[in-house]
Amino acid sequence: MNEEQIQHYGDALYDAWRERRTIAPLLEQEPDITLADAYRIQLRYIERRVAAGETIVGKKIGVTSKPVQDFLGVFQPDFGQLTSGMVYQEGDVIDLGTLIQPKAEAELAFVLKEDLQGPGVTAMDVIRATDYVVPCFEIVDSRITDWKIRIQDTVADNASCGVYVLGKTKGDPRKLDITLAGMVLEKNGELHSTGVGAAVQGSPANAVAWLANTLGELGIPFKAGEVILSGSQSALVPVVDGDELVCTVGGLGSCRVKFSGRSAV
Amino acid sequence: MSMEITLSREDIVRLCERVEGAQTRAYAIPKLTDEYPGMTIGDGYAVQLELRRRFLARGHKQVGWKAGLTSKAKMKQMGVDVPSIGFLTDRMARPENAAISTADLVHPRVECEVAFVMKDELKGPGCTAGAVLAATDYVLPAVEIIDSRFSGFKFDLPSVVADNGSSARFVGGGRARYAQDLDLRTLGVVLEKNGEIVAMGASAAVLGHPAEAIAMLVNILAELGESLPAGSFVMSGGITEAIAVKPGDSVIARFQELGSVSMRFVE
């Protein structure tokens, strides 16, 4: 795709995000979009948000489980950028009015104490470079109508990122089995579903290593202090006004989040 | 739950012989309710206890019990609000790392469970998860090899209870731990077959906490007029879905904090 097309679709996604509405799947409009094109569209969308005053605070990794990869017909994860406007603190109530068609995912987040420069990064480097891990919720959202996404659509749409909340309990990955740590998700006081770290690329550290290597090839920096959401360990949970979710990572701790208001769809 | 017995002693013995034949010679039979549509859960347990009586009379030793249908999803699917239980004998036990023959099984499946070994006797009714933890000597990881004797693994609650809760084989292993040293609610589990992850979950999938399943088992035993003896080995129910296995398959279950349990299957 030429630069004009890239800008067009990046701007269309930015406008849809700002106006809380959806657009038709990009692949319906432009059947030949490649994955590389999709990342360029994502970059344009994020540049628009940065130009409007946000800063880049981290990355999210998506499409990390085998069922989702099978569904989208891909063999690797994808990634999006986390911006300052996406951050909620634990205890905040998430205003669904700022979102379009949100769903929650329970994850493990990494915070780096050293830069990770790929290619050549292994899971062992990830543990070494990690300051701490925390349980977190990512609230994914799609600017694409009815979540009718293929891999190019979700990549262009910043990996369907909405907002996120980090828990307050920090863990050291040298003292915690992040691969076998259980994930228990409760919705409104009832057990919703369970999972385990291994659901993410065999281990969340593998997903972060993948990201470091992918960013390295694209020349995108991956810096100390950045937050990395490593990928969903739970089922996707649609949320409405009044819902409360708690995720607990075995051996680590919990993250609790409440929702109010109405999303656009 | 009603433990009312509606079948005659003659019918119970007849059904027991049918189940015993299917278990011993490894063939599938239609579910029992096809012939006895009015069969109750109490009838199912009467058949199961008759089966146990016959096994014990032949010199098998009972080593404990198992809880089944302990996930909310499975109970909802079956239209019941209680798990089922089944007895475990020494003949069903296989050592860790064993080669397990499938020749004497119908359609075996494996699932990951947290197992409890009791230091004190427990009696219902009114047994709680707290009482279970206080009476527990240690917990360990286990893999249960279930094998419904009913065609297509299709059954209802009275039939599966009569079939001893699909009990077939079990392997305990890994690392023994004191229950109070662990959060038994959030233990992660990964089941691998031939090196590939085939099922995952966390222990809360079992009634919110595995000790809750043991408490329900003790309360069911009370309705049958029995207690859970000290020394019992008790499996609390599948954390993961059950995965079919065949000869040549190698299985390893990896548990957070509890190590792993492995086995392979042969002709």
**Segment A76-105, tens digit of pLDDT:** 999 999 999 999 999 899 999 999 999 999
Question: B254–A180: do the CB atoms touch at under 8 Å?
Answer: yes
pLDDT for res B71: 83
> Considering only CB atoms, which chain A residues are within 8 Å of B238?
none
Question: A198–B205: do the CB atoms touch at under 8 Å?
Answer: no
Domains of chain B, each with CATH number or no CATH: 9-266 (3.90.850.10)
Q: What is the pLDDT of residues A103-112, one digit of tens each?
A: 999 999 999 9
Phi, psi of B37 (to 5 degrees): -60, -25
CA-nearest residue to A181 within chain B is B188
pLDDT for res B54: 97
> Considering only CB atoms, which chain A residues are within 8 Å of B187?
182, 250
Fill in the DSSP letter of residue A192: E
What class is the A3-89+109-175+200-233 domain? alpha beta
Which residues contact residue A188 at a Cβ distance below 8 angstroms, ignoring those fewer than 6 apart? A243, A244
Interface test with B, best of A108, A196, A233, A246 (most B CBs within 10 A): A196
CA-nearest residue to A248 within chain B is B186
Mean of pLDDT values over B234-251: 96
| Minimal C-alpha gap between B187 and chain A (Å) | 5
Q: Is the pLDDT of residue B81 over 90?
A: no
> Considering only CB atoms, which chain A residues are within 8 Å of B190?
179-180, 196, 198
Domain parsing of chain A, residue ranges: 3-89+109-175+200-233
What whole-number percentage of chain A has pLDDT above 90? 93
Q: What is the pLDDT of residues A36-74, one digit of tens each?
A: 999 999 999 999 999 999 999 999 999 999 888 988 999
Dihedral of alpha carbons B162, B165, B171, B172, sign = negative
What crossing angle do the helices spanning A3-18 and A35-51 adopt, rounded to 10°? 50
Phi, psi of B25 (to 5 degrees): -105, 5
Q: What is the pLDDT of residues A183-240, one digit of tens each?
A: 999 999 999 999 999 999 999 999 999 999 999 998 888 899 999 999 999 889 999 9
3-state secondary structure of A35: helix
User: Where does the pLDDT of residue B82 fall: very low under 50, low under 70, confident under 90, or very high at 90 and above?
Assistant: confident
3-state secondary structure of A232: strand
pLDDT for res B1: 64
Q: What is the pLDDT of residues B124-147, one digit of tens each?
A: 999 999 999 999 999 999 999 999
Token pair, residue A89, equals 């603190």
Token pair 């000869």: residue: B247
pLDDT for res A265: 87
pLDDT for res A180: 98
The answer, for A198 touching chain B at a CB cutoff of 8 Å, is yes
AA identity, residue B4:
E
Q: What is the pLDDT of residues B9-53, one digit of tens each?
A: 999 999 999 999 999 999 999 999 999 999 999 999 999 999 999
Question: A195–B200: do the CB atoms touch at under 8 Å?
Answer: yes
The answer, for A208 touching chain B at a CB cutoff of 8 Å, is no
Token pair 């080593």: residue: B63
The answer, for B240 touching chain A at a CB cutoff of 8 Å, is no
CA-nearest residue to B260 within chain A is A180
Mean of pLDDT values over B255-265: 98
> Considering only CB atoms, which chain A residues are within 8 Å of B188?
177, 180-183, 195-198, 250
Q: What is the Cα–Cα distance from B221 to B5, expressed in whole angstroms?
A: 15
**CA–CA distance from A123 to each of A108, A204, A206, B12, B154 (Å)?**
15, 9, 5, 59, 44
Q: What is the pLDDT of residues B85-101, one digit of tens each?
A: 999 999 999 999 999 99
Which residues contact residue A213 at a Cβ distance below 8 angstroms, ignoring those fewer than 6 apart? A118, A119, A120, A121
What residues form DSSP beta bridges with A256? A246
| Minimal C-alpha gap between B98 and chain A (Å) | 24
Q: What is the Cα–Cα distance from A151 to A265, expressed in whole angstroms?
A: 22
pLDDT for res A19: 97
> Considering only CB atoms, which chain A residues are within 8 Å of B189?
180, 182, 196
What whole-number percentage of chain A has pLDDT above 70? 100
DSSP for B204-236, please give it: GGTTTSHHHHHHHHHHHHHHTT--B-TT-EEE-
Q: How far is CA B189 from its chain centroid?
A: 18
The answer, for A261 touching chain B at a CB cutoff of 8 Å, is no
**Is the bond preceding residue B125 a cis peptide, omega within 30 degrees?**
yes
Token pair, residue A47, equals 């540049």
